[in-house]
Structure formats: structure tokens, C-alpha cells
Chain A
């Protein structure tokens, strides 16, 4: 039975090492100096009488002085002329766009403090990813340049314009080339600006290249179907999904949209209809998508292409290339099974691959064509425009620079000195260019090589637009005046190209009014309110596969042989830091990785068994030497589920010039990449050696122990269909309960929450949203190591073993297992459960934590004296203690504690001071605000009107909050679901948060 399944958070807990037991015995990491005090020397230390009197006297004096003061003088400065729409104390919302998604920016007294999904946006519901939530912090980043720079010295825009224009004219006259290098530009207005710049300076070409490239897919589609685009995948239409290393819920193309699509076939509504998609993942490192898969098979990078080929053969019945996937029998078996399932779901099947190899993508196209996916689950007619970078054109550009043909170069939203695998070749070539202009907002790796830095504005200060996919246009509108002396890159280009229109706002407006608004039948004013225009899907046209599978299989075989020699290294994007552009965002650095729960570092993830073979232990520093000779020293992380003989390393770390928070965090892995078959591939072979050192990673997962109690309930889809209560009945009727507490009568509202474990993908967006909403400090790597991170909501990740489709239940069996490759994962968001019979309340000596009449567990910071008894007594381990005055302590200046980033603080939430306990308040400021709004409008509260920050950020809609006393509320319906259970309900603490069991669509072998 599934409910007997053994869950573990980390290998330490699984193996119950003595260190782990010792470490977890205590609530807090630090040793109490008890021994020291009780030993003789401790007892003999005396506080001299004089010192005592001095302290006493000082204390009394200070108190008397405090009592003597008249009222403190606080200045109150009203607006000179108040904008009509601003009422101090009431937030304003502006619609904008981030990463192609329509968002709402919440501003208070003119400063943006929060980003939410645009509820009326195209995707209907709310939700953003973690990077969008954290993006507000970038606005107030003090590491940004405060004014433009010319030849290393601060300058004015006027001087800079004169200089650049003069140089441009010289370059134009000399006939040398001008290049605008950028990551993918989706903005139609910006593209138009660039086109007009090119017409002014005809020697100009626009080179687009993405740090993490998708040119493999684009090229493959070009050769297979004559349409070189990034197609729009439709996971919502797919019943069977097979992914070869594509982290489509996290970082692959459009993780946020894919999450919505994917979850729509797996959430409560879908299960109620008896429908659940099946997801099979083949991958080397454990990705977030892999943790959500129903079946996950570890394959090495060298085997990946072979596995794709094998699937192609199994689906089509042909015999192209080798039949065996290396020595991976599990993969062999899985591919055959997958082929059968895919064939049964023709037209409802989808195969995706994360590889940037044209050959692999060509074979994947062939499989999808054979399965009838085109026009069904893959839409080539309404493609994504978010990545259209071309690796080959960037390589050609580097060569051009090397030959001295380029006279001027402009870098827009790109940082090749850091992200280009051969950064030395790049910087050497760049040195030969006379005019180097960077639009970076800070002096980053590339900008510091440039002679002009025309500081670009943050997106919250800018006008603009985005076009994430065909027909969907979103508007960026500023929510604040520029914080520093910055100017939009587009505006700079307009000025430098002597455009007739030098104001980019007017330019965007004119562009929309001419090109986009008439078709949509909207006015500019409507657009400013709605934020987007969707012109609808283009009808699907039929495509026939015209690719060359035989040639592709040749290429795959060669590549596979080249990789299979040594230890294989796979590079990946981490969910938080992505390609490195978020490296200076402290919120994202401290967001635990969804799988490894590591913060503030990248690491070499290896399989536990493989580490044992190599004689390395967790946190050992190893030197990894890539095929191209690049070496890097990284700490080891033992990652269950990692393919043996492989190392996974996240890119985006090891930035040297990103700012105070991100500099020197982790190591740069980009140089391991190489160009194979014309595209940049994040694979290499490597040799490793121990350096002898050790470095403890700042992990959050090992902090708390439930002492082996089962907090996860899980069922297979098959059993769920038989009985929806499956996996959920273990403790029912077992205990006779005795109440130590009086019954709470909740006469008004009763605030409760429901969390669907089957919808949660573990992305961590809720964590960042909670941080921003509730002024939760970032504490830094050292403090996380001491288990002092402050997150009010965390996502617990539990592993369990699978063996041949069966779940391993008995402890004895676990010891026999040596296969850490086959583990399954459950993510569980954990926050204060707002117990009716809260154990924390009973032990507080000063009654600082109390129960409210509407079912919340209140925490009065000003009453708390910091005994930490409550944290000790909390069975869910959700209370966090302020060890420092994080908002006013110079040691934390790098993160949020400075005069700029303090502007991010939510004025409705107190910042807590040192020595005070805190925890999830159930966003009580939002509850109070929502109730007040209803009272002001003299109407009953509407269900869904009040949303928690975590709920609002959840793309998957896994979190529902509401009033249990409202019989029609969504949350009441959700909690009435058969799958609902309460964590540790046997303790009879009567938690207010119900969870719904995880259902996995496994196939019993």
C-alpha cells in the first residue's frame, strides 16, 4: 500500500547517520554553551560588581532619558500637487509585461512593491514565476550604475550622445560594419526602432543570440517542415508526454505557460473527471520537471540521442541506427513502454527534447510527425518568438570582430563576455572594435569591456511591448520614474539615429495605433488598462515531415560516441538564476533549488552510487576538467536520480561583475559548452579529481525532521480511480482524541487553505511572492548554513524509492537497495498550518501568539520576547526566528538592507526586529484589506476576493484560500475532496490547511 511508503528528505535522513541524528535532535543549529557554563571555569567566571553597577546605571540612565523626551519629531511631507489617482495608503496597479506575460505592478505612493499576474490576461488565471516575483528588487538594485559612463568616467547624456553620434558617423564613413548584438528581441516597437536605425546606418546588422539557445529546434523545424520557428507546444492537449531532458515546467521555453497547460490535465478538476495525463521523463540530472514525472528514467547525455532514436524506431517500426541505448536496460524497457503508450494516444501525444542538437530535434520531429502531433499538440503556425537567437550568426560575428571588420557594436540585454563559451576569443576580438556600446544597467562582464555604457532603464521604468507568441502582444508601461539616471536603450537608438520621433513613449504609442490597435478594435487608453492584445490563433496548416532521419542518426551516433568516453557533464539552467541575468537578485539566490534545496551556489550533482565508486563524499571539492581544458572546482552534491557517470552543473553562477549580492557566488560553467553541428551544446566530457577540500552547501532541506512521521500521502492513478480515498485513510479512526484546548467558535469567517499536491510542481514562485509581500529578509549563505533562513513558506521535497514500478515500503528493503537512480519525488508546500489547537500558543510565556476568532494563529511581534519555545513546540517547524535586525544591520547590506531596496518594503507589514519570532500570518494584511473593502462598499465578502500572496503567484493554482464558513467557497469544495488529508492529523492539532494527496499515473509492470 502506498501509504506505507517511506519518504525521505535527504540521504542523511534516509541512512540515519549519527551526525544527522545528532544535528536534528535540537531545534536550533547552535550549541548551547551549557557544558562551558557548568564546568568549573564557567562557574568561576564572575561579572565584576563594578561592571554590573555600570550596566545597571547605564540602563537606568537610558530609560530615564527615554522617558524625558518629548514626542519624537517626524516630518510629514505631503505632495505639492497630488496626482489625482494617488491616495496615500491605497495601492495603485499598473498593467505591464514581464517575459512576454501580462502582469500587474502594485505601487504604493509611487513605488512599485509587488508584481502579480494579470488576472484578465490571456491565460485566464493568475500566477507568475519566481523570477517575475523577484524582478521588483532589480529596480532598486544599488549595484546598478547611477549614471551613464563614457570611457570609464561618469558622464551626462548630452556628452554621451554627441560622442556616440560622432563615432557612428566616422564608422559609417569608413565603411566598417556596425552590429547590434542582443538576446532575442520580441518587442515589435523595438524591432522597428532597430530597423529604422539600420536604415540610417545601412552597415548595421542585428545579431540575436541567446545565452541558452534554442537554435537546434528552430533549425530542425526549418529542415523538417520548412518553417524555422520555435513551435508552440500544447501540453494541455497531450495525454501522453515524453520529454527527453526538457525542463518544460521550469526553464524550457515558457515554463510558466507550460505549467498551466500541464497542470490542467492533472489537477483536482481533471481528476474529478477521471482524467490524468501521463508523463515520462528521460533525463540525466534531476530537473524540476523530472520530479513531477510519473515515470522518470535516468539516461546519460550520450544515451539521450540513442534513446530518441530508439523511440523513433519503436514508434515507426523502422531500424535506423543502433537498437541499443548504451547499456541502459531500464531506458530500453521504458522506451518500448513509452512507444506503446504514445501510439495508443495518437494525436494526443507529445514528445519534446531539451537538447540543442539539430539531429536530436530532427528525430523528435519525425516521432511527433509519426504520432500526428502537428496541428494537435504542436502548433507550428502560432510559434513562440521568445527565443529566436542563432548560434551560427553569433559565431560569425565574433569572427568578423576578430578580422577587424566591425567598427561599432551595441550590446543590448546580452552579456557574451560571460555567457559565450569562448569568452576569451570574444573579448580579444571585441578589443579590435573602436566603438563599443553597452546598454547594460550595470558594469557587467561585457559592459566593462565597452567604452560607452548607456545605462538602460529597468522594465518598470520603461515603455515597451513584447510579443511572446503569435498574436499575443503585451504592453510594458512604466510604474515609476527612473530611479537612477538611466535611459531606455530604444530611446538612445532613436536619438543616435536622428529619428524624427525621439520620444520612445510616443514611438510605441504611434506604432500600436498604426499597426496593432486597429485590428484589435481597441484604443490606446483601453490598452493601458488591459495590457495586452490577442489577435487570435492562426488556423493550423498541414505539415509533412521532410527531414533526413538517416543523416540525423549518423550525427547522433557520432556525438554519442564522443561523449561516452569519460564522465559526462551536462549543463543546465537553474530555475531561479536562469542564464545568470538574475544573479544579483538576492531573493532568487536564496530561493532553494526545487530539487536539491541548495541556495547561493552551484555545485556538481552526482549520483550517490557513482560518488561512492569515485571515492568522493558530499561537499567534497572536486576539480572538473572539461574536454576543452576548462577547469572548475565545485562542491559535490549527492543527487538521487542523477544518471551514473554524469555530473550536472548549473550555468548562471560565477558572475564576477554583477553586483554585491551575486559576485563570486558559485562558478561559471558556460566555458564547458562547445559548438557541435553548428549549435552551442551544453555537454562535455570531463575528468575529475579531488582537491581535498570541503565546502558545505547552504541547503535548506535538512533543517527539520518529522522524525519519520508520514506527512505525504500518495496514490496511483489506477487506485485513485477505484477509490478516491486511496492513500488517505491511514489514520482514520485510529485515535480517540482528547482535547486539551477549548473549542474555538468561529462566528464570522473561518480562514482555511487547501493545497493540491498534485498541482504543485515545486517551482518556488510562492516562496518569492511571500518574501516580497511580507518583507521577509534575505539572510545570506552563512546564515542559511546555520539553518536560519526566514522563509515563511517552504517547499519540502520528499524522495521515495521505486523499484520496477512497485513502491518500496519496508525499511529492510531500503537497505538492500542500491539503485538511487529510480526515485520519485513529491513537493509539499509547508507553511504555518494555523492549527485550531496550536501547540505554539500553549507554550508562549507572554501570550505573544494567540488564536483568533476567525481561525488564524496570530503573532504579536511587539509582545514576543524570543524564548523560541513556540518554534520548539511546532510539529511543522514553520516558525522562524530573527537572529539579527536584518533590516538595519550592516552585515546584511548586500541583500536588501540599503536605502534603495528598502523602498521595496510593503508598508502594510511590520519589519521585524531582532529577537522576535515570526511565521506565516496568512497574509493578514490582505485579509484585513479585503474585509475593509467589502465593508466600505457595504457588501458581503466575495469568495476569491482575498488572495494570499502564495496563492496569487501560483501558476499551477495549487493553493486555494478562503472562508470555510461560506458554504459555496472554492476552498470548502476543495477541502471536501476525497483526497484531502491534514498533515500530522493524528496529533489532533486541527490544522487549518488541508492537503490533497499526490496522484501518480504509474503503470504497474
Chain B
């Protein structure tokens, strides 16, 4: 009895130590982002305060969304891209003129408006895309956004924006999980304290009991003096304890081994460092670029294919994210230019290109044949079905286990997308005759046979 309580006490002691340590570390770690968030909030507050003081017509936020979607390909705030820098545009032209210009600049030019002709000639007679779909209010919103953005001091604004971009989405969920974690830790601490107190009570009661029985209590002095090795030796003679620990160890290692073996070669969550910090969150999430704009192979080939750099250059010819890097071209975008040996100043391609070596994330073994077009074009599956919430990944990781079990489950559970596909007409007709009403999964059409994927 006493020995068990002894063991219990030891365990509790070490547990408390560990938990105290971990809480300490955690609090330290928590402090940093909290401070960040606080600073940011105050900055944002200041910004809105400032803009409110200027009394801008229109909604700068709504305008910002349209601006990012439609304007950034050719315009920046304080730098000429294709079209002019837009900072202070509301001072250069009046609003009515700007609305006309944005909706259809060529009409203005054709009408012989002197300001319009001047701008047109100034920019090498490059025709600005007309935006007849924008309402007057939309244009006002854009102008409001330009006004607000343009008034921000360049450098700090860029820094803040960068931080905003990366933490904005993550913040909410981060707070929740931190809160839960904190709560848990509190609960654990309370529980430990209770155990400690109870332990103390047991000890006192035990002593009282013994005292009542008239046994003189030996103080734990000798115990304290006992060396660690001797303690272990004494404990190791306790057969029950040894048995208990052995069982625990067997269970632990058995489970670990079992899980490890099943997961050999399964790389779910694999997230290698890529040569370019390309963010799907930005491109697919915020900018909503269609997956197949870059991964054009996905609907016609077995390979979804990593886009070649000429696809990147379709946008990054102009989009250089300079506003986030003090007017410098983003270092990540520079990597594209470097690989292509492209000089952004002269817009000339050199003769020494070096391909970018991406690290493959999804590795199927050679003996498994997988075809993207079968699943994307024929099956009509969304990319996210296998690749997960790719639009939220700033760095891509392997979402699915890519095990055969995973493949087969999907083939068993989901219907074949045969509607409107004449290929399946006959097959489905025969199938219906044979198995009335049963759902048509790839599995019943032979999709589980070895040779469908292994050849």
C-alpha cells in the first residue's frame, strides 16, 4: 500500500515538473504573436481613423476587391506598369471623367477629349481594357480605394500589408485553438493540484492511523538518503510494478510499431520546402485563379503537370508585388526571372535559363497508374477531393494518404459520373438489367480490378 502511494507520489512530482515547464515555454511562445496582433490592431485602427478624417466618397474596401481583381495586372499605386501609377489620380482628373474613361477609354479618345488623347499617346497608344460591367458606384469605390491606398506612406504600408496578408486568415482560428489549449492547461494544473492535496491528505491520514495504532513513525529521512540506484533496485523487486511497466511498454511499442509499419511509405502531411515560396492560398484562394489555368494537364493528361514558367510569366510579366517590397521586385518573383534569365528592366530574355527543380509532393509508386483527366474531366471531381483545401495552403502538403485503401474506398463509395456521357450508355443499360437500382460505383464497373491501375 505504502509503496503504491510512494510510486504515485513520485509520478505526480515529475508530472508537475513537466507541466510547469511546458506551460512556461508555451506562455513565452504565445507572447510574441500576441504582441504582434496587438500592434497590428492598433495600426489598423490608426489607418481607418486617418481615412475617416479624409471623408472619402465610396467604400474603399469594396473598391479594393475590384481593384485587385481587375486593375493590378496593369496598374500600381506609385509605379508605372503598363498603365500609369494611380496614386493621386483623383487629383489629376475629375470623377466624372474617370468614370467615363474606366468604362470605355477608347470612346473618350475617339471623341477627341484632349485629356484622354494625351494619356493615350503618353502610354504608347496602349488600349486600356474597357470595363462596361462596372457601375458608377463601383468606379467610385475603386477611386476611394486608390485614394486611401495612395495616401498611405509607402514603406510601412507595404510591411503592414505583408503581415496582414499572411496572418489575416490564420488569426481567428489561431486564437480559438490557443484559448482551448490554455483552458486545457488550466484544467490539468487544477487536477494536478487536487491530486497533490489529496496525496498530502492520504499521507497525513496514514500517519494518523499508524500513530493511533501506536506505531512510531519512521521519518522519511532514510528514504531521502537512499541513492537513486538503490531505489531502482528496490523498485525492481516489486513484481507487480515490473509487470505493470512491462505491459505498458509492450502496448506502447506494439502500437507504435503497428502504426509505423502501416505508415511506411505513407507520407500524408509531407510538406517539403520548395525552391520558390509559391502560395496557393494567394493564387487559388485570394485571387481565385482556376487550378487548371496553371495545371492545364489535369483535364487532358495523366499528369496534372507543374506549370512551365511561361505560364507564370503571363501574369508576372507585370505583377511584381513591388508594393510589398519597398518598390523592389518580390524576391520570389525574381526567382522566376532568374530561371528564365529574364531582365525585368529591359524585358529581354537571356540565353542562360535554368529550370526550377520543384520537389514532388505526391509520389505514387511506379506500379500504380493514375490519370488526372479520368478523374477531373470524366469523373468531374474537384481538385480538393484529393488535394484538400489547397486554396488555403500557403505551402502545399500531401493531404491524402494516397494509399490503395484510400483509392479503393473512394471507388466503392462514389457514383460514376455517367450522366450525359455517351460512352457509358450501353454499359449502364446492361448494368441496370443485371442489378436493378444498385448504385453505379466505379467498383461495380470493374474499377477495383488489379489491371485497372497496375500494368
Residues of A participating in the B interface, judged by any CB pair closer than 8 Å = 63, 66-67, 70-82, 87-90, 745, 747-748, 848, 850, 852-854, 856, 858-863, 908-911, 921, 924-925, 928, 931-932, 934-936, 938-941
**B123: CB under 8 A from chain A?**
no
Contact A859 B451 (CB under 8 A): yes
Specify the main secondary structure of chain A where it touches its partner: loop
Cβ distance A19 to chain B, nearest Cβ, rounded Å: 39
Contact B270 A71 (CB under 8 A): yes
B427 proximity list for chain A (CB < 8 A): 747-748
Cβ distance A336 to chain B, nearest Cβ, rounded Å: 57
Residue from B300, B340, B369, B398 whose CB has the most chain A CB atoms within 10 Å: B369
Contact A745 B434 (CB under 8 A): yes
B353 proximity list for chain A (CB < 8 A): 80
Contact B264 A67 (CB under 8 A): yes
A70-B270, A89-B303 known; A75-B264 Cβ under 8 A: no
Cβ distance A777 to chain B, nearest Cβ, rounded Å: 16
Contact B308 A858 (CB under 8 A): no
By Cβ-Cβ distance, the 4 closest A-B pairs, closest first, are A858-B451, A89-B301, A71-B267, A82-B308
**B367: CB under 8 A from chain A?**
yes
Contact B300 A862 (CB under 8 A): no
Complex: A935 Cα to B416 Cα, angstroms = 12
Complex: A11 Cα to B353 Cα, angstroms = 65
A745 proximity list for chain B (CB < 8 A): 434
Contact A909 B455 (CB under 8 A): yes
**B200: CB under 8 A from chain A?**
no
Contact A932 B449 (CB under 8 A): no
Complex: A941 Cα to B423 Cα, angstroms = 6
A70-B267, A76-B360 known; A858-B302 Cβ under 8 A: no
**B45: CB under 8 A from chain A?**
no
A80-B353, A80-B355, A936-B378 known; A910-B366 Cβ under 8 A: yes
A67-B264, A75-B358, A75-B360 known; A747-B430 Cβ under 8 A: yes
Query: What are 26 residue pairs bridging A and B, where the CB atoms are less than 8 Å apart in the complex?
Result: A73-B272, A75-B358, A76-B306, A76-B358, A76-B359, A77-B355, A77-B358, A80-B308, A87-B296, A87-B297, A87-B305, A88-B297, A90-B300, A747-B427, A748-B445, A850-B450, A854-B446, A858-B449, A858-B454, A862-B367, A909-B455, A924-B455, A932-B378, A935-B421, A939-B423, A940-B425
Cβ distance B278 to chain A, nearest Cβ, rounded Å: 12
Cβ distance B392 to chain A, nearest Cβ, rounded Å: 21
Residue of B nearest to A745 (CB): B434
With beta carbons under 8 angstroms apart, the residue of B263, B308, B340, B367 that contacts A78 is B308
Cβ distance B166 to chain A, nearest Cβ, rounded Å: 26
A79 proximity list for chain B (CB < 8 A): 308-310, 355
Complex: A941 Cα to B270 Cα, angstroms = 40
Contact A88 B363 (CB under 8 A): no
Residue of B nearest to A109 (CB): B303
Cβ distance A849 to chain B, nearest Cβ, rounded Å: 8
Could you give, for residues 288-302 of chain B, a 1 whenever the CB lies within 8 Å of some chain A CB and a 0 otherwise? Answer: 000000001100111
Contact A67 B261 (CB under 8 A): yes
Within B394-419, the residues touching A (CB, 8 Å) are 398
A924 proximity list for chain B (CB < 8 A): 451, 455
Interface residue range, chain B: 35 or more
Complex: A75 Cα to B306 Cα, angstroms = 11
A932 proximity list for chain B (CB < 8 A): 371, 373-374, 378
With beta carbons under 8 angstroms apart, the residue of A72, A861, A938 that contacts B454 is A861
A853 proximity list for chain B (CB < 8 A): 445-446, 449
Residue of A nearest to B267 (CB): A71
Complex: A374 Cα to B407 Cα, angstroms = 67
B335 proximity list for chain A (CB < 8 A): none
A858 proximity list for chain B (CB < 8 A): 449-451, 454-455
Complex: A748 Cα to B452 Cα, angstroms = 14
With beta carbons under 8 angstroms apart, the residue of A67, A87, A860, A938 that contacts B423 is A938
Complex: A850 Cα to B455 Cα, angstroms = 13
Contact A747 B434 (CB under 8 A): yes
**B431: CB under 8 A from chain A?**
yes
**B185: CB under 8 A from chain A?**
no
B261 proximity list for chain A (CB < 8 A): 67
Complex: A939 Cα to B421 Cα, angstroms = 7
**B420: CB under 8 A from chain A?**
yes
Contact B303 A748 (CB under 8 A): no
Complex: A852 Cα to B455 Cα, angstroms = 13
With beta carbons under 8 angstroms apart, the residue of A73, A81, A747, A859 that contacts B308 is A81
Contact B309 A80 (CB under 8 A): yes
Could you give, for residues 422-445 of chain B, a 1 whenever the CB lies within 8 Å of some chain A CB and a 0 otherwise? Answer: 111111001100100000000001
**B2: CB under 8 A from chain A?**
no
Within B260-318, the residues touching A (CB, 8 Å) are 260-261, 263-264, 267, 270, 272, 296-297, 300-303, 305-311
Contact A931 B423 (CB under 8 A): yes
Complex: A941 Cα to B365 Cα, angstroms = 30
Cβ distance A18 to chain B, nearest Cβ, rounded Å: 42
Cβ distance B406 to chain A, nearest Cβ, rounded Å: 16
Contact A748 B378 (CB under 8 A): no
Complex: A30 Cα to B427 Cα, angstroms = 48
Contact A78 B423 (CB under 8 A): no
Complex: A89 Cα to B425 Cα, angstroms = 28
Contact A910 B308 (CB under 8 A): no
Complex: A661 Cα to B306 Cα, angstroms = 39
Within B377-398, the residues touching A (CB, 8 Å) are 377-378, 398
Complex: A187 Cα to B405 Cα, angstroms = 58
Cβ distance B332 to chain A, nearest Cβ, rounded Å: 16
**B339: CB under 8 A from chain A?**
yes
Could you give, for residues 340-358 of chain B, a 1 whenever the CB lies within 8 Å of some chain A CB and a 0 otherwise? Answer: 1000000000000101111
